[in-house]
Each structure stands twice: as structure tokens, then as C-alpha cells.
Structure 1
Amino acid sequence: MAENKLFTYSPISERPAITWPGGARVAVYVGLNVEHFLVDRPSTSIWPGSANLVPDPLNYGWRDYGARVGIWRTIESLDRHGIRASVLLNSAVAHHYPQIIEAGRARNWAWLAHGRTNSILHTGMERDEERQFLTDVIDTIATATGQRPRGWMGPGLTETFHTPELLAELGLSYVLDWTNDDQPYPLTVPGMISVPYSVELNDLILFGKGCSGPEFVRMVRDQYEQLHADSEHSGRVMALALHPFVIGQPFRHKYLDQALEFLAGQEGAWLTTSDEIAEEYLRQHPTHPTRPRELGDHPVA
């Protein structure tokens, strides 16, 4: 019966207008999940029949394809269309796949903290334990990439009741976990906002439900066109969520390329990063300067 203390209800029809740079109507970013998985823990699986085996070559190999092959194919397409990735980065990637970090640094990617590994969800920690964990994750990413993360998305979009507060203490300004809007909006934690992400326009979800390549391209077009229509009086955000072990499969590559070609060709689109979206929103709509009483001591429903 707990009430949601993290954000308040705000109908999109009753907000101050958002204007994006250059008169763009839709801010578009690619959320590229760059993750590390443990060989002795179950995680995202293509076939559940072996998911609890240790080791699980079928599912582990499917996931591992992303770091070995799929990411490089995806990078080719992003480069071709001049799109910088917003990378949702497990900090363990810095140790296991430094070549990916090097490639991202050369392309000036935006780096978001995404926990340590996607084999472990971000939950079940007391405040002090979580503070120490988040500090390690963020410092590891900052050292490896040369950029301190500004944003967070938990593995599996997970948080504790204290996560946004602790992230704010560590200098971050936004989270992607709450996928409930087409615009950024302020949290009750001072200085913290939510930036839209998508569990619908998300290759892992779509292709896991049997979506075909041509259907994926059509969905990208439909998403953009509807958001563009909605944005006549106030800007919207379109997030395209990608996982290299899914979208990086050879038979899907040309469809990613077609989708990115469409987005790159839209005059009303601001092709950007989640960092820049958050920065622009905060410039136009500074968050409340004082901390709510006892915030973080109450569960979020």
C-alpha cells in the first residue's frame, strides 16, 4: 500500500514546453547496451531449457556473441550514419573487453553506469552497501572511459529505494529505469531527472517476441512519426534500445542500417545522446533546489 515518493503525476498535456536545439521536434538517441555476463549465473536467455545449467554454453554463447562480433557490426552502422551511442555500460566491461572501451572513446560515446554485470540485478542492498557499490561502478567507468557517467540504468532496469539519492550524491543527474514518459521529468530527488528509455522499442523484447527485420524498421518509423506529430507544441524523446547480441546478428544487420538511415534523414530529429538530452532539459527546467523530508526512507510503489 506504499505511495510513490520518487515522482509525482504530471500529465503531458499540462507541462511547460520543451524546445530542442535547432528547432528539432524529436530528440533521438541510441541506447547501446554493452554488458558482461558471468559464466556461472543465469541471465538473459534465448532458450530457457538450459538457462539454469552451469555452465550454459547455449545461452552464454548467445550473449557473448555481442562482445565478440555483434558490437563491431553495430559500430559500423552507427558510424555510417554519424550516430554517437549512449552506452549503458557494465563496469566489468572495462576489464574484460577493453577494446570496446577504446572504440567508444575514439567515437566520443556517452557512457552511462549500468551496474557491474547484467548477471546480477541491482537490488537487495542496504544504503551504505549500495553507496559503496555505486561508487566502485562509477569510478571504474570514469577511469576506463575518461568520462564520469552522468546517467544510470540498472541491470534489468533495477534500482533500490535509495538509488536515485545515492546517484545524486555521486554527481549523476538522471536515470533511465522508469520507462513511463515521452519527455524527461524531474524526480523528487533534487537535481535528478528521468530520461525516457524504451522496453517496447527494444531489440531484445521485439525480436524475442518474433518480430521480423522489416517489422522492426516499420516500428522505428512509426515511433518517430507519431512522436513527431505529438511534438507540435513541445519536444519529445525517442529512445532506440539495442543489444549487440541481438541486433548484431548477421541477418538483422541490414534492418538496423535501414532504421538508422531513416532516423538520420529526418529534418525534425535531433540525433544526440541521453547526456545531452538531460543537460538541455535541466537547462530549460531546473529541478527543485531542496531535498524532500525523509526522501529515501519510504518505499516506491
Structure 2
Amino acid sequence: MPAPTLDVHAGGQEYLLPPDFLWPGGKRIAVFFRVACEGWSDGAWPSLGPMGNPLKPGVPDLNALGWVEYGMRRGIHRILDILEQHDIRSTMIICGVLAERYPEVVRRIADAGHEIVAHSYGMDVIPAYLDEEQERANLARTTALFEKATGRRPQGWISPRATPSPRTARMLAEAGYEWHGDTMNDDLPYLVRFGDREIAAFPGGMELNDTPMYIRYGNSPRMMVEMFDDWLDYVRTREKGAVRIDPSIHAHVFGRITGIHVFEQLIEKAKAADDIWIGTRQEAIAHVRAAIRR
């Protein structure tokens, strides 16, 4: 049997945005504020923790588990308060296990108008490791948990590590998802058709992400503000078409006091600019579909 095609959209047909595409309101620049709420299955724990030195294989890392648990106990509430104060709707990337363990918190997120994006059942349930039957079961289980907690099915999906299997995009389209973020292969969204099914691909990036920047590489939280300023300066003076950036924080990382002030500074800068559109990915996808189909 031949090896499967190593492509996130194997078997699909891609449709790109027109060169003159602009974001809602005729804006050329879009900023999507993203918040990740991560959880692990029972008996699993993060491979990356705040201490930096992993324990021996198979030994439960309660230090790392407690560090992550902070996100739903404290961090997310601090983040939600900041977003409410600034009247910003965020794209919230959440593991299904958290809808199971903290349904009232997930309900608060949804009721506040934030977009909920399914992030697999847990960070340890990575589609690339699953066979087709396991992946279908994980997709169904995760979707059902959010529907139970919020009364609504999520429309977007991002796998842990943004690492899908070659089947994931097609399976998401078949399950009725509107978009996925399991690729970093472009600056802008595009549509992919699998036969009579369609899904939007919304490429992501790690440019402004607290975990690699702060935890893995040990930079000051302030660097996120510097990078945002540098990016804005470049796209305003050099880029000609539509651009976007996704300042991303984790509830257990910059949901802490040492990081939340940076996230708020980015919000204030984006709100103060008259050439920036701020929205959720779901809001953007509706606009993208209309632009591609005109």
C-alpha cells in the first residue's frame, strides 16, 4: 500500500483570496487575540513545565500539572475580566477535557461572546498519533463535550501543536466544522473543498505566543510588545495587501500577573489604531467565504 500523501489537505482543492481582499470595514490589518486553555487526559501531564528539567519517563509531574491547572482556576478569569473591560471578543482555544472538568467556566466564556475553538480532547490526544477510528472518536467526543457545556457546537478546530493527520481536515469538513487552524503554510485564510464538503483553512503562527517566547526561550514578557510594534511598523510601510497577526497567550502562562499586563497593552494598542480590524476567526471566515465566492 502506498504511503499517504504528506499534506494537510490531501485530496482537497484549495481556493485562495483575491489579491484585493480586505478585512471587514475595509481594513488592511487584522488582529486576532487568541487565548489557549489547555488540559491533559487523566494519567497524562505536560512534557514542558516551568522548571525546565523533565522528570524520569513515566513519573507523574505534579509540578507541571499544578502549573497548568492554574489556567482554569485563576488565569482565565483574569483574562476574561480584561477582555470584558476592553469590549474585545477573543478566539478561545480549549481542550474538551476542560469542558468536562470545568463546564461552568467554559459556559462563562461562551456566554461572554468569545469564540470557542475545539482543541482535541486533551493536549496528549494528537491526531497525528491516532488511527482513523480513534480520530473519529476523539472528534465526536470533543465536539459533544462542548455542545453539552455551552449548548452550541464549536465551528473551529485546532489540534494540539497544530499537528493534524493527513485525514483531519477532511474529517472536520465531514463533521460540519467551518474552519481549522492546523497549518502554518500561508499568511491568509483560504477554502478547501473535499468533494461536496468545504472547510476554511486559517493558518496560524508562533510569532507572538507566550509559551515558546517566555517559557521555552526565557524572554521578558515585554518582548511581545516590542515584536508587535515592529510587526505593525513593517506591515504599514512595506506590505501592500491584507495582513493579520494572532497575539496568543495561554491561561496558565500569561494569565498570571507577570504576563497579563502585556496582553492588555497589545489590546490597547490595537484598539487605538484606526487601521486595524479586531475580530474572532469565526467572524473572519464568514467574510473570507464571501470574498472568495464573489
TM-score using structure 1 length: 0.85
**Aligned counterpart for 1:42 among listed residues 39, 42, 45:** 45
Alignment check: 8 A CA contact 2:22 2:242 kept: yes
Output the CA distance in 1 between the equivalents of 2:257 and 2:158.
27
Following superposition, the deviation at residue 108 of structure 1 comes to 0.9
1:32 counterpart = 2:35: yes
Alignment check: 8 A CA contact 1:25 1:231 kept: no
Question: What amino acid is the match of 2:95?
Answer: N
1:212 counterpart = 2:220: yes
**Aligned counterpart for 1:124 among listed residues 113, 125, 129:** 129
**Aligned counterpart for 1:237 among listed residues 240, 244, 267:** 244
Alignment check: 8 A CA contact 2:127 2:168 kept: no
Alignment check: 8 A CA contact 1:5 1:188 kept: no
Question: What amino acid is the match of 1:202?
Answer: N
Deviates more, 1:252-261 or 1:124-133: 124-133
Matches within 5 A, 1:276-291: 276-286=283-293
Following superposition, the deviation at residue 53 of structure 1 comes to 5.3
Name the counterpart of 1:115: 120
Counterpart secondary structure, 2:246: strand
TM-score using structure 2 length: 0.87
Output the CA distance in 1 between the equivalents of 2:103 and 2:13.
42
Matches within 5 A, 1:1-301: 4=7, 6=9, 15-38=18-41, 40-43=43-46, 44-46=48-50, 47-50=52-55, 52=57, 54-189=59-194, 190-208=197-215, 209-229=217-237, 232=240, 234-286=241-293
The count of aligned residue pairs is 284
* Structure 1: unaligned runs, 5 residues or longer: 288-301
* Structure 2: unaligned runs, 5 residues or longer: none
- C-alpha deviations, 1:213-233, integer Å up to 9, x for none? 22111112222333344554x
Following superposition, the deviation at residue 25 of structure 1 comes to 1.3
Shift of the 228–168 alpha-carbon distance from structure 1 to 2, 3 Å rule, reads: farther
Alignment check: 8 A CA contact 1:227 1:238 kept: no
Identity %: 25
Shift of the 49–126 alpha-carbon distance from structure 1 to 2, 3 Å rule, reads: closer
Output the CA distance in 1 between the equivalents of 2:56 and 2:185.
30
Shift of the 53–250 alpha-carbon distance from structure 1 to 2, 3 Å rule, reads: farther
